[in-house]
Chains A and B, each alone.
Chain A
Amino acid sequence: MEQLIEELKQEIINALNLEDMTLADIDENAPLFGEGLCLDSIDALELIVLMDKKYGIKLKTAAEGKEIFKSVKVMAEYIASHRTK
């Protein structure tokens, strides 16, 4: 799981173009939206694209995304149990 969390952090940095951030700057337990990384709705779309393209996971509803994108750790756990790639 630790390896997947680190990989996911790097994927998020690349997908969202977080140029000034390193893996250590991202707290895996911190909220992704509102606080923590302070991401917005466009970032949510980028994360949906990332989930599909990299891990073969298609999110079906907005409510589903709200749960999965709570933190990097929650995302990683969801990916580990649902990935098709």
Chain B
Amino acid sequence: MSVYIQSAAQISIQEPLTEKWFAEPHIPAGNFNLSIEPDYKSFIPPAESRRMGRLLKRAVTTSKEALRKGGCEMPDAIISGTGLGCIENTEKFLNAMLDNGEECMPPTAFMQSTHNTISSQVALTLKCHGYNSTYSQQGFSFDSALLDAFMQFELGKIGTALVEGHDEMTPDYYNMLGKIGYWRKETADTEKLRKSKGVGSISGSSSVSILLSDKLNDNTLCEIKNIVTLHSPNKSEIWNVVSRLLAKAGVAMSDIDAVVVGLSGDAENDSVYESVMSQCFTDKPVVWYKHLFGESFCASAFGMYVAATILNNRFIPKHLLYKSDKGINNVKNLIVYNHFHNKNHSITLLQSIK
């Protein structure tokens, strides 16, 4: 059984629905970053879009774009992850509840306040009657969705799947998370995030749709060799899992070209990555991405997307390398490692097919 990434599409604080960030990244100017929205009218008829909040429009648009790029008309499964769901609509509904004394509740905002709206809405729009699930495990939502898809492939139940990560940030929620140390107090640019560890990072909004298939085609970006998730592991457990994962794929540690991690400039978050890197991946080049896409509950979806784009180009540009003066060519194998609060960990091995 093989699982390939056929295509991917993103809407974020980078230019939407393109890979322009790979050559010419937009460097976030502040700590509160909203997505750059594409013209949704090209993807969603007005009669449908009027019932969709911003996040649903993003989800439907990136899904359609990933399917188009991957040459797939209808996926067998739609599996997404979201930390907050349609938080903008949830806030709208809760505010209306307070304003109206728990009477006169707007039904559209209520419908969109449930987390599973995302996969369901994409399925309704595509008229997809296959397997459908939305995972909501905060910063481990996308990883759970990807693991589910991988297991469905292993069981032979599906041949294609849209795996997605979607989260939006509102000013109110940004302020609340800021109070518990999610964001930098001072304006932080890339160099500050890299060199001066502190409390918090910069925010982002994430919408990534990735099309998986069990068959190679001309569009294939790379192969997912395996994915493993762990809960509260110690360092030796992580090392054992990495060793088993590599052995099963027939890949030696010396074949790994780089490790893609969620370094964000937050001292507590980064210390976990640095500890695992020094224990398991000594001297391996480190690829980071949160300085370009920001921190969000589904930021790990960008880790997968960035890794797939690197393997498709077989090149790591300098701006993605945490510590390096020049890019790396002929990239063949990447490990994507993510953790959420040092409890949930995921390790994925990706390989170029070129």
Interface residues of A (CB under 8 A from B): 15-20, 38, 42, 45-46, 49, 52-53
Contact = CB atoms under 8 A, between A and B. Distances in A.
Given A15-B106, A16-B50, A52-B103, 20 more contacts: A17-B50, A17-B108, A18-B50, A19-B46, A19-B50, A20-B46, A38-B47, A42-B51, A42-B111, A45-B107, A46-B106, A46-B107, A46-B108, A49-B104, A49-B105, A49-B106, A49-B107, A52-B104, A53-B100, A53-B104
A38 B50 CA distance: 13
Q: Which 8 A-B residue pairings sit nearest by Cβ, starting from the closest?
A: A17-B50, A45-B107, A20-B46, A52-B104, A49-B104, A53-B104, A42-B107, A49-B106
A38 to B, nearest CB: 8
B106 to A, nearest CB: 6
Nearest to B110: A45
Contacts of B105: 49
A26 to B, nearest CB: 14
Nearest to A54: B104
18 contacts: A16-B50, A17-B50, A17-B51, A17-B108, A18-B50, A19-B50, A20-B46, A38-B47, A42-B107, A42-B108, A42-B111, A45-B107, A46-B108, A49-B104, A49-B105, A49-B107, A53-B100, A53-B104
Interface of B: 46-47, 49-51, 100, 103-108, 111
Nearest to A20: B46
Contacts of B50: 16-19
B188 to A, nearest CB: 36
Interface centre among B46, B105, B108 (most CB of A within 10 A): B108
Interface centre among B49, B105, B106, B111 (most CB of A within 10 A): B106
Contacts of A38: 47
Contacts of A19: 46, 49-50
A14 to B, nearest CB: 11
A52 B49 CA distance: 26
Contacts of B106: 15, 46, 49
Contacts of B46: 19-20
Nearest to A51: B104
Contacts of A18: 50
Contacts of A52: 103-104
Contacts of B103: 52
Contacts of A53: 100, 104
A16 B104 CA distance: 15
Contacts of B104: 49, 52-53
Interface centre among B46, B47, B100, B104 (most CB of A within 10 A): B104
Contacts of A49: 104-107
A20 to B, nearest CB: 5
A17 B104 CA distance: 17
Contacts of A15: 106
Contacts of B107: 42, 45-46, 49
A53 B47 CA distance: 25
A83 B287 CA distance: 63
Nearest to B52: A17
A17 B51 CA distance: 7
